[in-house]
Amino acid sequence: MFRSETEPIPPDLRRGPEGKDLGRGPLLVVCALGVEAAALRRGSRLGAAGPVALLRTGMGPRNAERAVTRALRDDPALRGAAVLATGFCAGLAPGVAPGDVVVDDRTADGAPLAAAVRRLGCTVHTGRIAASDHVVRGAERFALRVAGATAVDMESAAVQRAAHAAGPRPVTAVRVVVDTPEYELLRVATLRTGINAFRVLRSILPAFLDWHRSTELPWR
In a domain, 158, yes or no: yes
Pick the residue with more confidence: 158 or 107?
158
| 149-158: pLDDT as tens digits | 999 999 999 9
Q: How confident is the model at residue 216 (pLDDT cuts 50, 70, 90)?
A: low
Would you say residue 220 lies in a domain? Answer: no
The answer to whether residue 219 is domain-embedded is no
Q: Is residue 131 part of a domain?
A: yes
Q: How many residues does the chain have?
A: 220
Across the range 178-205, mean pLDDT stands at 78
Closest Cα partner for 132 from 210, 215, 54, 61? 61
Mean pLDDT for 40-55 is 67
Domain CATH code at residue 116: 3.40.50.1580
Residue environment code for 46-73, b if the CB has 16+ CB neighbours within 10 A, otherwise e: eebebbbbbbbbeebbebbbebbbebbe
Mean pLDDT of 96-113: 91
**Domain range spanning residue 11?**
2-214
Number of domains, the chain:
1
